[in-house]
Structure 1
Amino acid sequence: MSKTPIFLIGATGYIGGTVLARLLAHPSKDTFDITVLVRSEEKAKKLETFGVKTVIGSYTDTALVEQLAEKAHVVFSCADADALDAANAFLAGLRKRHAKLGDLPILIHTSGTGLLTFGDSAKGEQPTDKIYFDNDPDDIEKSFPPTALHRNVDLAIVQADKEGYVRAYIVLPSTIWGIAKNPLVDAGIQNPHSQQIPALINAALARGQAGVVGKGRAYWPSVNIEEQGDLFIILYDAVVSNPEKIGHGRDGFYFGENGEHLWYDISKAIGKVLVKRGISKSDEPTSFTTEELVKYFISEEIGGSFGTNSRARGIHSRSIGWQPKLGTRDMLDSIDTEVEAILKLQQKA
């Protein structure tokens, strides 16, 4: 029996590793022929013990990405939502595959609800009433120009789907939280940590008090890493079992969200943990200065993203059978564990 060739980009990352771990545990795992692109020879050797084929390289090597994509019936793009050159490369490979074999490849690409922050100027001062729904492609299409975050890559993928040489599905995670736990993490292959909440924790530890952009009065959605991983696999299974009924291309946006939070709520929870641990005297977040945004978050723009609004409802995601259970309260309760993990990492450094 022939196997399904799968190419996964981002295997050692927080999201990509979580997706790969699920593919390796999938009921149909014996029918998968999985190839991943990895920079580290050490991690490549470890991945091979899991039955995964490895190629040493980077997604910035567009010729290599195109070559590997051409060999795959399924591509999971889980590395960089803004890497347009890489996206053009795997799309070129899938186009060649379709032309040579008549195969209609499946592409599942990772974008993000950072897209929804376009035009937002809240700077942490106020929430917005505007909520986006992933089952409303007309609103998404009219609301976001190519200059919006992630949008140029998303549009290239939608266009490829429109041209008919690939069926494309775009997953948009939100604030992903939780420490990933799976055999790839245990083997030292996958990064188990998210970015947003740990960044706020690291800044709070460095300044001795939790911080917010402005007043922290802006909303973002959130999703647990394990349930985000579930969404990718539920989507894949739905596409394989009933492709004609699963929205793709322009109709193929799937938000990863289960509840939303004010940025203040996260920073307040961090503040409480720091007080409990004797690290801070007050649990009340104070506003980051411009200098602090640059110091703790590389740039004022990146730091300022913690004051933006991104409001999303994953109606489309739930319509295919995704049923996330862990919500905002669970996220806030997890922050103590996140702080503990970061303190241990700092002790090892």
Structure 2
Amino acid sequence: MSSTKIFITGATGYIGGSVLSRLLAHPEAKSFEFTALARSAEKAAKLNTVGVKTVLGSYSDLDLLTKSAKEADIVIAVADSDNLPAAEAILKGQKEKFEETGKAPILIHTSGTAIISDDARGQHGDHTIYSDLDSDAIEALPETALHRNVDIATVKADKEGYVTAYLITPGTVFGLAEGPLVDIGVQHKYSIQLPLFIKVSAARKKAGYIGAGKNLWAAASNRDTADLFVLIFNAARKNPSSLGHGRDGFYFVENAEYSGFEVAEETGKVLAELGIAESPEATSNTAEELKQFFGDWWTLLSTNSRAKGDRSRAVGWKPVDGKKEFIQSIRPEVLEVVKSIEK
């Protein structure tokens, strides 16, 4: 029996590493041949120790991406969701694969609910709650929205028939990552979004939020997010008729909703306990602080992004971690971020 060849990007990242760890423990793992894109020889060597082949390079190495995608039956892209040239290079390889075999390869692409974000600037939480079942509303999103350039190209490739694409679309992903890739020191333990706010709060020695901190974001845990990737992976291989794909292939990842103020409030408690902040009280970042700590990104970080993963649940996804777990996850993230700052 021939093996299923899987090419994964972002394998050492927070989400990608957790997805790869799950697949390495998959009941059918012996029939999978994994190849991961690795930026350094050191990371490649560590991945090799757990049975993952590697190609050395980055999302700038377009020919390498095309070649690696062409050689794979399934591509799982969990790296830069906004890098259109890299996405097009992967799709080019998959198109060449299709032209040779007549069978459309699978693409599991990672987008994000920033596609539905607004310009709230932290002042309110009044925003449309988008369902991933509403394909018309998603298709009507502006091309200028974050991630949309890559999403549009991916959906177009699916429509043209040379790839079957599933777009997994998380909100904020929370919780420290665990697993074999963390254990061997190759996977990032935490995400970018929440730790950025924690780092800024630590630097200003007072927990902070943007505007009034009223903006709302969808969230799901790292482990629930990895569960959805594996569910889609399994169904795409075994029962593709059960899954929407392309235009109808967005799968929102959410099981909680939080405000900017709630993150700052919990962060403040921990910073005060650690003696970094004099008081647990959280305050709004000043205009000068926004420019100093966030640059032009502050408007994006203070948006609303309200989503419902109805399609995700309809195909059998059963997330476990909710709002309580989200709030509880902030303390260990603060401790981890402070530890990294002090190194």
- For normalisation by structure 2, the TM-score amounts to 0.98
Q: What is the aligned counterpart of 2:314 among 319, 337, 348? A: 319
Aligned to 2:137: 139
Any residues of structure 2 matched to 1:294-333 within 5 Å, and which? Answer: 294-297=291-294, 299=295, 301-333=296-328
Aligned to 1:159: 156
Aligned to 1:57: 57
Q: Is the 8 A contact 1:70 1:93 kept in 2?
A: yes
Q: Is the 8 A contact 1:73 1:103 kept in 2?
A: no
Give the counterpart letter for 1:70 in structure 2: K
Looking at structure 2, the residues matched to 234 and 47 of structure 1 have their Cα atoms a distance apart, in angstroms, of 23
Q: Is the 8 A contact 1:212 1:306 kept in 2?
A: no
Give the counterpart letter for 1:39 in structure 2: R
The answer to whether the aligner puts 1:266 opposite 2:263 as a matched pair is yes
Aligned to 2:69: 69
Give the counterpart letter for 2:132 in structure 1: D
User: What secondary structure sits across from 1:254 in the alignment?
Assistant: strand
Q: Structure 2 regions of 5+ residues with no counterpart?
A: none
The answer to whether the aligner puts 1:193 opposite 2:190 as a matched pair is yes
Give the counterpart letter for 2:175 in structure 1: G
> What per-residue deviation string (whole Å, max 9, x for no partner) do you get for residues 20-54 of structure 1?
11110111100101111101101111111111111
RMSD: 1.1
Aligned to 2:230: 233
Q: What is the aligned counterpart of 1:125 among 123, 131, 135? A: 123
Looking at structure 2, the residues matched to 304 and 194 of structure 1 have their Cα atoms a distance apart, in angstroms, of 19
1:168: Cα distance to partner? 0.2
Looking at structure 2, the residues matched to 49 and 103 of structure 1 have their Cα atoms a distance apart, in angstroms, of 32
1:343: Cα distance to partner? 2.0
1:267: Cα distance to partner? 0.7
Looking at structure 1, the residues matched to 227 and 287 of structure 2 have their Cα atoms a distance apart, in angstroms, of 38
Looking at structure 1, the residues matched to 13 and 6 of structure 2 have their Cα atoms a distance apart, in angstroms, of 17
Looking at structure 1, the residues matched to 250 and 124 of structure 2 have their Cα atoms a distance apart, in angstroms, of 27
Aligned to 2:29: 29
User: What secondary structure sits across from 2:340 in the alignment?
Assistant: helix
Q: Is the 8 A contact 1:145 1:151 kept in 2?
A: yes
Report the more deviating stretch, 282-291 or 332-341: 282-291
The answer to whether the aligner puts 1:103 opposite 2:103 as a matched pair is yes
Q: What is the aligned counterpart of 1:252 among 218, 224, 249? A: 249
> What per-residue deviation string (whole Å, max 9, x for no partner) do you get for residues 125-161 of structure 1?
111241000011011112x121111001000000000
Looking at structure 1, the residues matched to 47 and 161 of structure 2 have their Cα atoms a distance apart, in angstroms, of 34
- For normalisation by structure 1, the TM-score amounts to 0.96
Report the more deviating stretch, 228-237 or 334-343: 334-343
Aligned to 1:341: 336
Report the identity percentage.
Answer: 48
Q: Is the 8 A contact 2:108 2:167 kept in 1?
A: yes
1:290: Cα distance to partner? 2.6
Any residues of structure 2 matched to 1:211-230 within 5 Å, and which? Answer: 211-230=208-227
User: What secondary structure sits across from 1:79 in the alignment?
Assistant: coil
Q: Is the 8 A contact 2:208 2:284 kept in 1?
A: yes
Aligned to 1:175: 172
User: What secondary structure sits across from 2:218 in the alignment?
Assistant: strand
Q: Is the 8 A contact 2:256 2:326 kept in 1?
A: no
1:345: Cα distance to partner? 1.5
Looking at structure 2, the residues matched to 305 and 129 of structure 1 have their Cα atoms a distance apart, in angstroms, of 14
1:280: Cα distance to partner? 1.7
Looking at structure 2, the residues matched to 317 and 127 of structure 1 have their Cα atoms a distance apart, in angstroms, of 24
Aligned to 1:16: 16
Any residues of structure 2 matched to 1:77-96 within 5 Å, and which? Answer: 77-96=77-96
User: What secondary structure sits across from 1:176 in the alignment?
Assistant: strand
User: What secondary structure sits across from 2:18 in the alignment?
Assistant: helix
Q: Is the 8 A contact 1:269 1:335 kept in 2?
A: yes
Q: How many residues align?
A: 343
1:273: Cα distance to partner? 1.4
Looking at structure 1, the residues matched to 276 and 44 of structure 2 have their Cα atoms a distance apart, in angstroms, of 40
Looking at structure 2, the residues matched to 129 and 94 of structure 1 have their Cα atoms a distance apart, in angstroms, of 37
Looking at structure 2, the residues matched to 330 and 245 of structure 1 have their Cα atoms a distance apart, in angstroms, of 31
User: What secondary structure sits across from 1:334 in the alignment?
Assistant: helix
Looking at structure 2, the residues matched to 262 and 346 of structure 1 have their Cα atoms a distance apart, in angstroms, of 25
Looking at structure 2, the residues matched to 110 and 313 of structure 1 have their Cα atoms a distance apart, in angstroms, of 17
Looking at structure 2, the residues matched to 290 and 112 of structure 1 have their Cα atoms a distance apart, in angstroms, of 27
1:198: Cα distance to partner? 0.8
Give the counterpart letter for 2:33 in structure 1: D
Q: Is the 8 A contact 1:214 1:287 kept in 2?
A: yes
User: What secondary structure sits across from 2:261 in the alignment?
Assistant: helix
Aligned to 1:242: 239
